[in-house]
């Protein structure tokens, strides 16, 4: 039998009005949430903007404007300006304009200069453990040097600076140091015997070159060219890019790739200035220094590679020192490094020896 319905069959219907009202309420709630979130973002951005003051940061260093340290300062300045919306302005003072390394160090400690980028060697007078960085023939390549300074050892050294009125934002590249002379090339340890060599006023450097029977003469960098020109000293030791940039080829005849020490610059901030900064400003400077580091290291190492050819083109006679002779020179200097290791903070020495052991495997 067929069943017939008087009206067509349909599923039970529900009133749509409550559903529409619910949807409208949900949309309104979502819009209110979005508006609140946007307000919070704007407020956070405004608060952050208010957290950045208009400041001029005097950044001094010893090098000329064609040197990779100057290029690093320029990159750092660009990054700081971009990150701060132009409120933080870095003003460069190159070529020892603000004094030699020790004078600028004192200015930072006194709060009359905001930043500098000296060689780490200049810090051994206030934190003697920085002498570890100057130990001869410690690292063989850039990868080992970066790992040593960016790792636990570098951080432990940096941690000792605030009590001395300084804050460090990391290490930049200066390069492997090499000897130049007006007398003769250096091919073995005995060639240093009796030579008057300018060295940084640093105990490790002084004792190392005494071990090679040289006559080390501590002298500020700004006085070096005149001392070489007047023959007050026979030679000096610096990375290739420094030798080229400062035109030492005009007053020196021989450049020898002794590669006796890897040298780094350290980006320093006056603690008195640092303590005035907001957390946002501190982060801007810290981030910019780290970002600029990769760029600075790249240009510095490329400059060193090119500098050798340019020095030869300028008339200098270039020679390399064999790995076997470098190893022999390391052994000659070992009593010096052993003496300093015994006088340093044992915890930092432990970090140094453990990390170096890992790198040299």
Q: Is the pLDDT of residue 113 over 80?
A: yes
Q: Is residue 35 one of the residues assigned to a domain?
A: no
- Average pLDDT rounded to a whole number, residues 70-97: 98
- Report pLDDT digits (tens) over 35-70: 555 455 444 444 455 799 999 999 999 999 999 999
Q: Is residue 338 part of a domain?
A: yes
Q: 261 is in which domain, residue-wise?
A: 52-359
In a domain, 235, yes or no: yes
Give 318's contacts (C-beta < 8 A, 6+ positions apart). 255, 256, 257, 308, 311, 312
Residue 104 lies in a domain: yes
HSE-up of residue 342 (Cα within 13 Å, Cβ side): 6
Distance CA 141, CA 119 (A): 18
Q: Which long-range contacts (CB under 8 A, 24 or more apart) does 203-206 make?
A: 203/124, 203/128, 203/131, 203/340, 204/121, 204/124, 204/131, 204/134, 204/135, 204/336, 204/337, 204/340, 205/121, 205/134, 205/261
Give one DSSP letter per residue of 24-49, joined into a string: HHHHHHHHHHHHHHHHHHHHHHHHHH
pLDDT digits (tens, 9 = 90+) for 189-243: 999 999 999 998 889 999 999 999 999 999 989 899 999 999 999 999 999 999 9
Residue 3 confidence (pLDDT) above 50:
no
Domain membership flag for residue 21: no
- Note whether residue 39 is domain-resident: no
In a domain, 329, yes or no: yes
225 occurs within a structural domain: yes
Number of structural domains in the chain? 1
SS (H, E, C) 106-122: HHHHHCCCCEECCEHHH
> What is the CATH number for 208?
3.40.190.170
pLDDT at 20: 57
């Amino acid at each position: 039998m067929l069943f017939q319905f008087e009206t067509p069959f349909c599923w039970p219907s529900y009133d749509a009005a409550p559903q529409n009202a619910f949807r409208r309420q949900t949309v309104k709630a979502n819009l209110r949430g979005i508006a609140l979130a946007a307000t919070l973002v704007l407020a956070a951005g405004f608060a952050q903007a208010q957290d950045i003051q208009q400041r001029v940061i005097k950044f001094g260093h010893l090098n000329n404007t064609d040197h990779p340290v100057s290029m690093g300062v320029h990159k750092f300045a660009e990054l700081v300006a971009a990150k701060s919306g132009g409120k933080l302005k870095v003003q460069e003072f190159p070529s020892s304009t603000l004094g030699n390394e020790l004078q600028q160090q004192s200015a930072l400690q006194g709060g009359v200069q905001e930043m500098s980028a000296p060689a780490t060697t200049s810090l051994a007078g206030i934190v003697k453990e920085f002498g570890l960085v100057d130990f001869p023939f410690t690292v063989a390549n850039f990868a080992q040097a970066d790992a040593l300074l960016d790792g636990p050892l570098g951080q432990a050294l940096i941690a000792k600076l605030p009590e001395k009125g300084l804050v460090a934002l990391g290490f930049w590249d200066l390069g492997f140091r090499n000897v130049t002379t007006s007398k003769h090339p250096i091919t073995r340890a005995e060639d240093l015997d009796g030579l008057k060599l300018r060295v940084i006023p640093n105990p490790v450097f002084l004792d190392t070159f005494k071990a090679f029977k040289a006559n080390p003469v501590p002298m500020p960098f700004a006085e070096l060219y005149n001392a070489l020109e007047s023959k007050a000293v026979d030679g000096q030791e610096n990375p290739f890019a420094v030798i080229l940039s400062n035109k030492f080829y005009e007053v020196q005849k021989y450049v020898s790739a002794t590669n006796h020490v890897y040298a780094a610059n350290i980006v320093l901030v006056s603690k008195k200035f640092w303590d005035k900064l907001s957390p946002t400003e501190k982060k801007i400077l810290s981030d910019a220094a780290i970002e600029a580091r990769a760029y600075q290291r790249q240009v510095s190492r490329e400059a060193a590679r090119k500098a050798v050819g340019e020095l030869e083109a300028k008339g200098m006679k270039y020679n390399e020192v064999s790995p076997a002779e470098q190893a022999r020179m390391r052994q000659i200097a070992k009593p010096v490094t052993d003496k300093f290791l015994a006088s340093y903070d044992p915890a930092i020495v432990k970090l140094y020896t453990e990390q170096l052991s890992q790198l040299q495997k």
